[in-house]
Structure 1
Amino acid sequence: MIDEVFRTLVEKTRGIEGAKVENHKFCVSVHFRNVDEKNWQPIAQSVQDILDKYPRLRRTHGRKVLEVRPMIDWNKGKAVEFLLESLGLSNRDDVLPIYIGDDLSDEDAFKVLREGNRGYGILVSSRPKETNAVYSLRDPNEVMKFLNSLVAWKKVEEGGCILNNRRTI
């Protein structure tokens, strides 16, 4: 069903400059961030037409994105819980989950990590906003710097380094 929805939305939005449709296997995202505002309504109508045709699907909203997904109790927070449990990481003290996101739909994941003191959510936003994330970064460049710092720190931790003729861990 999701593949058919994806193909239909690609076809319906083909003539709308800037529209981008993504198939995420379990849901379809229709991005309109780069679409002229006068074309937002036709995109919304295309999504509504899908919902009318497939009553077992629902629409969720993000930042200039509409998602079409099954009507099941599932969100990114539940996905984080599922991954931690299925990978055997949910009750470990030697694992620190970090979730980085820039969309309203990421708030469920931030909340799961924060409420259970299970990890850290990091919101990517150029402006301050209410969030369940513990930390924030301003843009993708800051995300890259942060991730590079984590990698460098992990390499030092694993191999240690020599500072002032003393081995550190």
Structure 2
Amino acid sequence: MQTFFDWQVYEFVQLPELYYAGSHGMDIMGPLPQTSNGVKTYGTKTLDGTGNEVVLFQPANDITCIMDEVYRLLEEKARKISGARIEHNKFCVSVHFRCVKEENWLHLAEEVNSVIKSYPNLYATQGRKVLEIRPSILWNKGRALEFLIRTLGFANRNGVFPIYIGDDQTDEDAFKVVARRRHGLSILVSDSVKETHASHSLQDPNEVLKFLQHLVKWRKMSVRS
């Protein structure tokens, strides 16, 4: 049976009516549609941790064994470099080097490349002090966003206003999707000025929280009026 990777997030939020996505959009879980309201069931039906029926969409599901193997190899490499940390996200493996001395960054990158060169179906990208090893499939956060909009039946509905908030280079693909729609809000979270496809920016998670609180307040006021 297929399983959603990040049950911890799902159990923390405890809102079964939401869609949850991890691993750059390669691991998506949502509620099983109960009515024919335009929502289509894409993916595999399974059960969540409490026995509720959910739907999983995992476009790279056939590569999990390879990711397990790469994770073990990178774990061995990381032990030789102080501060390096390897994180297994099921459909991608993250090599964190935030705590690695700068003079060792190149050596770490070489060690990572020495592993993935044997796997032509994988590639590496760089984020914020992290190297991401991912499957070479036509999928990213932007495609995941498009998938969710389409699956929820929102693709051709002008009244839908998507809001996407992200703080990583990999979020740029989703920012581009929002920009192409010309109807929505894309927000980069960064405390420095940088080139981005996002339409707006916030400095840190505290500002994100304030923004979301304002959204809730605005929604309550609009309902009352």
TM normalised by structure 2 equals 0.64
Residues 100-115 of structure 1 aligned to structure 2 (within 5 Å): 100-115=165-180
Q: Which runs of 5+ in 2 are unaligned?
A: 1-65
Task: Please provide the CA RMSD for this pair.
Answer: 1.9
Q: Which runs of 4+ in 1 moved over 4 A?
A: none
Say which of 11, 20, 27 aligns to 2:92: 27
Q: Which residue of 2 aligns with 1:136?
A: 201
Q: Is the CA contact 2:85–2:95 (under 8 Å) kept in the aligned structure 1?
A: yes
Query: How many angstroms apart in 2 are the aligned matches of 1:137 and 1:145?
Result: 10
Structure 2 vs 1, CA of residues 43 and 84 (structure 1 numbering), >3 Å: closer, same or farther?
same
**2:68 alignment partner AA:** D
Question: Percent identity at matched positions?
Answer: 56
Q: How many residues align?
A: 160
- Give the whole-Å Cα distance in 2 for the aligned partners of 1:10 and 1:149: 43
Deviates more, 1:55-64 or 1:129-138: 55-64
Distance 2:166 2:137 in 1: 22
Superimposed CA distance per residue, residues 95-142 of structure 1 (whole angstroms, 9 cap, x where no aligned partner)? 221111112211111011011214211011112222110000111211
SS state at 2:170 partner: helix
Question: CA–CA distance in 2 between the matches of 1:17 and 1:148?
Answer: 41
Q: Give the 3 Å change call, closer, same or farther, for CA 94–66 of structure 1 in structure 2.
A: same
The separation in 2 between residues aligned to 1:16 and 1:155, in whole angstroms, is: 52
Aligned to 1:41: 106
* Residue identity in the other structure for 1:87: L
Unaligned runs of 5+ in 1: 161-168
CA deviation after TM superposition for structure 1 residue 44, in Å: 0.8
Q: In terms of Rg, which structure is larger?
A: 1
Tell me how far apart the structure 1 counterparts of residues 147 and 124 of structure 2 sit (CA, whole Å). 22
Q: Which residue of 2 aligns with 1:54?
A: 119
Secondary structure of 1:21's counterpart equals: strand
Alignment of 1:1-169 (within 5 A): 1-158=66-223, 160=224, 169=225
What's the TM-score, normalizing by structure 1?
Answer: 0.83
1:41 & 1:118 partners in 2: Cα distance? 41
